[in-house]
Amino acid sequence: MKNSVGREIPEYIEGYGPVKMFRGAFANFGEQSRGNVKLHPIKPGIKKLLSTIEEVLDKVQIQDGMTISFHHHLRNGDFVLNLVMDAIARRGIKDITVAASSLFPIHDPLAEYIKSGVVTGIQTDYIAPGAVAKAISKGFLKKPAVLMSHGGRPRAIESGDLHIDVAFIAAPTADAYGNMNGAYGKAACGTLAYAMSDAQYADYVVAVTDNLVRYPACPIEISQDFVDYVVNVDSIGDPSGIVSGTLTVTKDPVSLHIAKLAARVLEETGYIKDEMSFQTGAGGTSLAVAAEVRKYMEQKGVVGSFASGGITGYMVDMLNDGLFRALFDVQCFDLKAVASIRDNIKHQRMSSSLYANPHNKGAVVNNLDIMILGATEIDTDFNVNVVTGSDGIIIGGSGGHNDAAAGSKIAIVVTNLTKGRLPVVKDKVTTVTTPGESIDVLVTERGIAIHPQRTDLLEKLKGTDLPVMTIEELKNLAERLTGKPEPIQFGDQVVAVVEYRDGTVIDVVRKVPD
Amino acid sequence: MKNSVGREIPEYIEGYGPVKMFRGAFANFGEQSRGNVKLHPIKPGIKKLLSTIEEVLDKVQIQDGMTISFHHHLRNGDFVLNLVMDAIARRGIKDITVAASSLFPIHDPLAEYIKSGVVTGIQTDYIAPGAVAKAISKGFLKKPAVLMSHGGRPRAIESGDLHIDVAFIAAPTADAYGNMNGAYGKAACGTLAYAMSDAQYADYVVAVTDNLVRYPACPIEISQDFVDYVVNVDSIGDPSGIVSGTLTVTKDPVSLHIAKLAARVLEETGYIKDEMSFQTGAGGTSLAVAAEVRKYMEQKGVVGSFASGGITGYMVDMLNDGLFRALFDVQCFDLKAVASIRDNIKHQRMSSSLYANPHNKGAVVNNLDIMILGATEIDTDFNVNVVTGSDGIIIGGSGGHNDAAAGSKIAIVVTNLTKGRLPVVKDKVTTVTTPGESIDVLVTERGIAIHPQRTDLLEKLKGTDLPVMTIEELKNLAERLTGKPEPIQFGDQVVAVVEYRDGTVIDVVRKVPD
């Protein structure tokens, strides 16, 4: 059956179940519920501190078929997922589903566990290019991976769609009764926002720390009333893989040109104004857009309401310089952000549910004016792919992409028109992550395309010197530069289900040939 | 049927339902659950700000038989409960259950709504002496009032035992999308801790504010993802009734003597030591105990782990002077506490669930060493009454009494031996709020009694000059001073059910004669 972005999706997918078809960004709405949670209360005097991961596995009665979860605040420095998976594998446990908010190259050992059947399910918002992504794409994972968005994951957890048996929470600082924070410790990552739903809804919650402090661990981000056990290990992560020292604006002239064009679009269409809100990624081009927007804000004396998302030092500077009144932070990308979230009440933590869950009472993305997005591919319906690469292998995932695109008043995709001798603008993207209806503008170095529904924007850009054209014109331009690439020869096997943020299926990824 | 504190309790109470009998402080344990929550998500662009309480009542479809909730952080300065109830009454709505975390004399107008049938149920942790308490005691409320503890209330809400249709949250500061805090505004009360469970579990959540600020209202205590509507009113409360300027230690020589004795008991039994934790009430005698304990701490160079509960400036000073490393605050009692919780990360907010819910994964009371408690009556089994007065009329409720008594390692009741020509120590208390098994020591101006189970304490006090005697001796002493009072002539009608923190019934209150 075809869903509303024209994708042929089976009505039932083996290892996934019956499919709820994507029918539009806000079609699956109406009354929702947060599910039941099982609790094991403890009497005064009972200790939660355990000595080893092995002891933890005994206490939580780990067994075949369970779903265990992890957060990704330690990013490519995370040791916790591997520590836990190694211990599970040593026990001969099989058929584990790993529900990690994201996966990084450091988690490559998972690929072996996928091949050996220790791990048969993966549910995640993002998989960085690496061995795990390849193992999935090549069909080694027994059940299709489920790719969610950053808002879709807490939605799934809170609604009960994704039931977690045991949540393992990497805690840069914790006390022996389970209070924890990401603010301090040698693996400090700023906030633990992605782990909030896990802590609230898993049957068992385990804090894994390498910085056990005296009770209570202030500031408390996840509190003891949600935590069953605490375990102290040598090291939960490698600081150099967790946060960058600093992230800087790109120096690439093409990227800078794109950023300037994007900021011009925002200025000409009236989005740069008092009380504006803004989100952008941490990539060089995205930060360059922030820098260009900043110039307009300063020229005009504009003070914005908030910036949100993963936060970099660049956005901290904008807060401290009075360009925004507040930051909503779901993840600290660098040391300046970590320091700021510790000390400034205007730099506000947000859980991933508060950030982007479409089925709570109003996520922060709902209040976004401007969203700057990347794209691996974008098609002439403005559908965006950030899941699969040109070879059909998984190279990412939505993260907050389709969440912020849906919530914001203007969602701008900034990208080079071609990448690595391949066109970015195509007839059909390989995999739909974000539906075209949520994308308003595409800015490339060769031209700007406006979604035809946004006649208001087209009207405002008429008469400017901005290189506005149709997206078909951009596609033709791209193809003239690169040629039309051969279509990828996928197999039949569904290796990943791409869930839209509301839990409907917007696309599937099929097996690539060996 | 008799429960384990010897109270005759009906197995079924009309208007309440089947009774779970109290069988001991930790008898009702084992696996628990947090219940399902209904949600009404909203799409981007939908506004939450309404103009009047009337408009709110339309939106939440208020109707006969609903349960609505309030928090008590504005204490005797709260305008919100009356505002809402007046609007409900004007509509001719009947049969409302009011689930307020506490009720104060300012809520006396409720008594009229009880008599007219607008309100037929009350569920609360504490009712200050006044018209509402009298109306209940005299049998005007259609269903028995349910008296809970501060930990029992979030337990009941989270488990689904107490289902809230609409939570009205007085918000000293809020933005138009529902983020709120108690830190700022003319009705600033410090924290909104008692409203957390209401916000998380009610079908509809409404922020009622008189300080609508630009988005976002930092620091966010209750976030937008839990809030359906916001309404801006002229005034949510009278600051003079909300927090005191300062609360001071008693100057009464008898109370000071009791405080000195209590602190001596703690010192002689070894509880005043590094990493100790401590809670006391905000009354003059309770604060005097803190002052005496402080002296020992300073003499010995002791640094405590934390103090908890409702927080006064006195405890803030102890934090700032290095006597405790942290405060856990469920309610700010004075302006110094309000200022401190805003600015000091060591002064930590705690929800009432984190504070005292027996059925989560470990409340803060579980980690308490020392708890100083008051009592209206205490009997020779050490059972304590803080619910009914000498005339049998309701004058209070557990608040955190039975929570902190159950959690702490040493629970000391400090009280005058007699009050108003009546004995405080009796054969049987009028109403059991806290079971004797949770009370370790009674300190009066005439002598000290130790619970016979605490042979360790008796051993340690042997050979000191402290006036240790049996509780029967104290009872006899009291009766010699006052005579034995005539028993109260109660009617048959159960006017209130006293729930222990775990939801079992520890006692009932029966109707007093007119």
- The residues pairing with B414 across neighbouring beta strands, listed in sequence order, are B443
Question: Could you give the ipTM of this predicted complex?
Answer: 0.96
Closest CA–CA distance from residue B158 to any residue of chain A (Å): 10
Identify the residue among B33, B37, B39 best suited for mutation to test binding to A, counting A beta carbons within 10 A and taking the highest: B39
* B376-406 residue pLDDT tens: 999 999 999 999 998 999 999 999 999 999 9
Q: Are B195 and B167 in contact, with CB atoms under 8 Å apart?
A: yes
Residues of B in contact with A177 (CB under 8 A): 362, 366-367
Residues of A in contact with B406 (CB under 8 A): 44
Domains for chain B: give ranges and CATH numbers. 12-17+45-242 (3.40.1080.10), 253-483 (3.40.1080.10)
Alpha helices in A72-151 (DSSP H): 80-90, 109-116, 131-137
pLDDT at position A280, please?
95
CB contact under 8 Å between B216 and A305, yes or no, is yes
Closest CA–CA distance from residue A118 to any residue of chain B (Å): 29
| Dist. CA A47–CA A177, nearest whole Å | 7
Tokens of B203: 């079908």
List the single residue in B275, B350, B361 with the smallest CB-CB distance to A41. Answer: B361
Percent of chain A surpassing pLDDT 90: 95
List the single residue in A26, A348, A366 with the smallest CB-CB distance to B220. Answer: A348
Expressed in percent and rounded to 5, the helix, strand and coil fractions of chain A are 30, 25, 45
Positive/negative CA dihedral, A169, A171, A174, A176: positive
Quick check: B282 pLDDT over 90? no
CB contact under 8 Å between B37 and A33, yes or no, is yes
- Segment B142-162 shows an average pLDDT of 98
pLDDT at position B357, please?
98
| Dist. CA A215–CA B306, nearest whole Å | 8
Give, in order, the Cα–Cα distances in Å from A199 to each of A158, A358, B430.
11, 19, 43
Q: Which residues contact A421 (CB under 8 A, 6 or more apart)?
A: A482
pLDDT-based confidence at B283, cuts 50/70/90?
Answer: confident
- Segment B79-106 shows an average pLDDT of 98
Q: Are A443 and A266 in contact, with CB atoms under 8 Å apart?
A: no
* A431-460 residue pLDDT tens: 999 999 999 999 999 999 999 999 999 999
Q: Which residues contact A361 (CB under 8 A, 6 or more apart)?
A: B39, B40, B41, B42, B178, B205, B224, B225, B226, B227, B228
Q: CB atoms < 10 A from the CB of B139, how many?
A: 17
- Segment B130-136 shows an average pLDDT of 98
pLDDT at position A285, please?
86
Consecutive H or E run containing B146: strand B145-147
Give, in order, the Cα–Cα distances in Å from A115 to each of A70, A135, A491, B5, B142.
20, 8, 19, 60, 66
Lowest mean per-residue pLDDT among A284-288, B157-161, B317-321: A284-288
Lowest mean per-residue pLDDT among A464-468, B84-88, B196-200, B283-287: B283-287
Q: Are A127 and A103 in contact, with CB atoms under 8 Å apart?
A: yes
Q: Classify each residue of B62-75 as buried b or exposed e, where b means 16 or more C-beta atoms within 10 Å of its C-beta.
A: beeebbbbbbbbbb
Q: Are strands A145-147 and A166-171 parallel, antiparallel or unpaired?
A: unpaired
List the single residue in B34, B38, B365 with the smallest CB-CB distance to A39. Answer: B34
* A20-58 residue pLDDT tens: 999 999 999 999 999 999 999 999 999 999 999 999 999
Residue B129 CB-density burial (10 A; 0-12 exposed, 13-18 middle, 19+ buried): middle
Report chain B's mean pLDDT, rounded to a whole number.
96
pLDDT at position B250, please?
83
* A100-151 residue pLDDT tens: 999 999 999 999 999 999 999 999 999 999 999 999 999 999 999 999 999 9
CB contact under 8 Å between B224 and A361, yes or no, is yes
pLDDT-based confidence at B246, cuts 50/70/90?
Answer: low
CB contact under 8 Å between A38 and B33, yes or no, is yes
* Amino acid identity, position B178: G
List the single residue in B225, B326, B361 with the smallest CB-CB distance to A362. Answer: B225
Quick check: A160 pLDDT over 80? yes
* A395-442 residue pLDDT tens: 999 999 999 999 999 999 999 999 989 999 999 999 999 999 999 999
* A482-500 residue pLDDT tens: 999 998 999 999 999 999 9
Quick check: A286 pLDDT over 90? no
The CA-CA-CA angle for residues A193, A195, A200, to 5°, reads 110
Quick check: B88 pLDDT over 70? yes
Q: Are B142 and B118 in contact, with CB atoms under 8 Å apart?
A: no
CB contact under 8 Å between A361 and B46, yes or no, is no
CA B105 to chain CA mean position, Å: 16
Tokens of A12: 């039932």
CA B287 to chain CA mean position, Å: 17
Among all residues of chain A, which has the CA nearest to that of B346? A218
pLDDT at position B514, please?
79
| Dist. CA A27–CA A41, nearest whole Å | 39
* B291-305 residue pLDDT tens: 999 999 999 999 999
* B415-439 residue pLDDT tens: 999 998 999 999 999 999 999 999 9
- Segment B501-512 shows an average pLDDT of 98
Residues of A in contact with B279 (CB under 8 A): none
Identify the residue among A28, A36, A39 best suited for mutation to test binding to B, counting B beta carbons within 10 A and taking the highest: A39
pLDDT at position B285, please?
86
List the single residue in A32, A46, A306 with the smallest CB-CB distance to B216. Answer: A306
pLDDT at position A245, please?
67
pLDDT at position A248, please?
76
pLDDT at position A282, please?
75
Quick check: B481 pLDDT over 70? yes
